[in-house]
Structure 1
Amino acid sequence: MEREGEAMIYYSALFIIMIIGTIINIFTMPRLASYQLNKNKVDPLVSILIPMRNEERNVKSIIRSLKGLTYQPIEVIILDDQSTDQTRQLLEQEIQCDKRFSVIEGKPLEEGWVGKVHACHQLSKRASGDYYLFIDADVVLEKDTIQHVLALAKKKKAKLVTGFPRFPVKKRMESLLVPLQHVVVFSYLPTIIANGGKYPAATAAHGAFMFFEREAYESIGGHEAVKSSLVEDVHIARALKEKGEKVILANVTSHVNCYMYEKDDEVWNGFAKNVYTGLGRSLNKLVALMVFFIVYYVLPVPLFLYGIVSEQVLLLLPLLLLFLQRLLIDLAAKQKWYLFITMPISAITLLFLMNHSMKQSVQHKGYQWKGRHYK
């Protein structure tokens, strides 16, 4: 009994250490809203670049949010990537005569390229700004977003500012999996090292919001340098760090909202294509991560239940600490606060997803996304 109690103290200490690390990450990650742009005689041109493929459900919200931006000067270039729905017609309807906007027709996907990367590459070739802001079609920006991100980039002398948006989740699968992106970043990425150094391994990025200084972007070859990557956002951020440039991961949830998925199967397929590839298709890394998730996120539940039955208060502590950590993350990410209680279920769902993602790769079945098949 004494040894069991000692083991539980060490086990609980793991959660306390993780909570401390999470708090440090929350408070050391730059917040977009904290940076104000100084008044200049001439502000740099910002090119907002958006790839769209069958995005008819998102056209109205994104165009209206971009029309409301208060920063000038901007140009907005949208690439219609071989859409088969009403994307193009809705774009023309929403843009009307606004000369800041232009829509270009995407070229057929070339061999060796991933669809989104190919679209972003084409967009960059048409842009003329001093800065490039790549955003996804499911993003909605607050009106003063550009001022804040530009101020942050200048203050930190960053060549890339990126961040994980706020995710206003609604569906069941979406609520379980999408918020885990913030859990991973705030729990496991040492923000001080990621933002203060140029160590490529300590890098995170989100393709829904990537703000580049043009010269730095072009110096690494742009999206062409990561043309075959399914996790191009992380790989292009690492490429900048490898060149000695500064990359800043910021908390952008105050200004950037991302409505990632509409259906549960979209959530599953979207995460499936990224999980195993994001681990470098390493089976050893995947197994190690799955073991850790079982020990850290799943085991506290049976311990908690047994603790209630056996009246051992110490057994309740791991799950309570886990809930506290998740609650702190959700508050920092402006997520629905009550989702913390779903953390063990989210972890179990992710475990099944990890296994599925690995099998799709190992069995050479590949991944389906937006009507395209990727190996």
Structure 2
Amino acid sequence: MESFIYMLSAILSVSFLWIVINGLFFPNYQKPSRLSSPPLVSILIPMRDEERNVEPLIENLKQLSFPNLEIVLLDDHSSDETYSKALELTRKDSRFSLIQGAPLKKGWAGKVHACYQLSHAANGDFLLFLDADARLNQNTIEHMLPFFKDEKVGLVTGFPHFPVTTWLSRLLVPMQHFVIWLHLPLALANYSSFKPASAAHGAFMFFERSAYDFIEGHFSVKSSIVEDVHLARVMKEHCFKVKLINATPYVTCHMYETNSEVWNGFLKNIYIGIGKSPIMVALLTIYYSLLYVLPFFLVFMAPFYGIWFIVPLLLVWAHKLYIDLQTGQVSYLFLFMPLSALAFLVIMHASMWKSLKNQHYIWKGRAYK
């Protein structure tokens, strides 16, 4: 038993070292350049039943300091007061325009269809697609544009800072950062055209316009409900570079407000996000069970077998605490990492079985498979 503890501790120590080294391959932010003729940036936001987000979103966008912006909002057949609220809040600001979405076409995912329409309404040299629950720092645009100095960069994206309010969001939402830092080789993601090493976050997708048009934009992934990752792969397929940044200093995403939203949001994405692979589900189940759930139970054996049985849990906490500190997350959440891993496994299996039973995922009143 002691030899198992030593081996588990060694694996977790190597994993922690990997996380630290892997994070070094996030691209560094550069000092914004002073541009005599700043490019036009189009900020494009699809909205469906976003009544609660409309006012804070628009007030946030009004505070942006970049001097050459157009902001296009699309109401995608909302059943609430999204459109009327947006109309009232934007009518006196010439930077804003508000359009009503066309009926959803067969074979299209709802958000992708809305983004496709937004791209046709945009005039910018750069297209920034935001979710309605995303918020930008005042100078976010200025700090993103230097990434495009390399003319082959077609997309800049990154996982935002995630405020968490419900117990399920505290367990699952920050795991998005954890999965990226632990599982994605960031050197390959940021400095190679290797498509499997691709990640993106749909709340913040910043495109160079000519690259976006070259790949046919959202039309190229029209049926996808994980369009962010698929767009990143299409970019690489066409030899454009994708920069996956640590966006937490400049972008915040209030992702879910209820436990039900957390469950349904992850349910529709997680199994598709791992390629609908039961083998991958099995491997991840073994991996997270042994490395991140089991150490919690080993602690209870420490009074009988020695203090070494506590070490694996301390290393698990170190993994999560390090990433939480790097991403501006609430500091005490690392203590719940075994529960986060368990919740991740439960929802992954639920997502898989829903797919295997050929059942629909429901999101914002629409059904997807």
Structure 1 Cα separation of the partners of residues 368 and 188 of structure 2:
33
Structure 1, unaligned runs of 5 or more = none
What is the CA–CA distance in structure 2 between the aligned matches of 1:6 and 1:176, rounded to whole Å? 31
TM-score after normalising by structure 1: 0.96
The equivalent of 2:12 in structure 1 is 15
Distance 1:326 1:175, change over 3 A: same
Structure 1 residue 302: Cα displacement: 1.3
Q: Does 1:72 align with 2:61?
A: no
Q: Deviations over 1:141-160 (max 9, x none)?
A: 11100000111232585211
Structure 2 residue 267 is the aligned partner of structure 1 residue 272 = yes
Q: 1:24 to 1:156 in 2, by over 3 A?
A: farther
1:108 corresponds, among 100, 103, 108, to: 103
* Residues 1:186 and 2:181 are matched in the alignment: yes
Show the counterpart of 2:350.
356
Aligned match of 1:319: 313
Structure 2 unaligned residues grouped into runs of 5+? none
What residue number does 2:193 align with?
198
Aligned runs of 1:213-292 on 2, under 5 Å? Answer: 213-292=208-287
Q: Name the aligned partner's letter for residue 240 of structure 2.
A: E
- Any conservation in 1 of the 2:25–2:190 contact (CA below 8 Å)? no
CA distance in 1, matches of 2:202, 2:105: 21
Deviations 1:6-29 (A, max 9, x none): 332221111111111111123331
Query: Alpha carbons of 1:244 and 1:155: their partners in 2 closer, same or farther (altered >3 Å)?
Result: closer
Identity of aligned residues (%): 46
Q: Where in structure 1 do 4 or more consecutive aligned residues deviate above 4 Å?
A: none
1:37 equivalent in structure 2: 32
Over residues 51-73 of structure 1, what are the superposed CA-to-partner deviations in whole Å (9 max), with x where a residue is unaligned?
A: 00000100111101111100021
Q: Which residue of 2 aligns with 1:330?
A: 324
Does structure 1 residue 211 correspond to structure 2 residue 225? Answer: no
Q: How does 1:122-141 map to 2 (within 5 A)?
A: 122-141=117-136
Separation (CA, whole Å) in 1 of partners of 2:155 and 2:121: 20
Does structure 2 conserve the Cα–Cα contact (< 8 Å) formed by 1:53 and 1:80?
yes
Cα offsets for 1:224-251 (capped at 9, x unmatched): 1111111100000001111111100001
- CA RMSD, 1 decimal: 1.2
Do the aligned residues in 1 keep the contact of 2:8 with 2:291 (CA within 8 Å)?
no
- Where 1:368 maps in the other structure, the secondary structure is strand
SS of the residue 1:281 aligns to: coil
Contact persistence 1:59–1:91 (CA under 8 A):
yes
Inter-partner Cα distance in structure 2 for 1:9 and 1:214 = 52
Name the residue aligned to 2:45.
Answer: 50
Q: 2:368 aligns to what?
A: 374
Report Cα offsets for 1:144-198 as digits up to 9, x if no partner: 0000011123258521110000001011111111000000011111112211111
- Asked if residue 295 in structure 1 is aligned to residue 283 in structure 2, the reply is no
CA contact (8 A) 1:26 1:332 kept: no
- Residue 25 in 1 paired to residue 22 in 2? yes
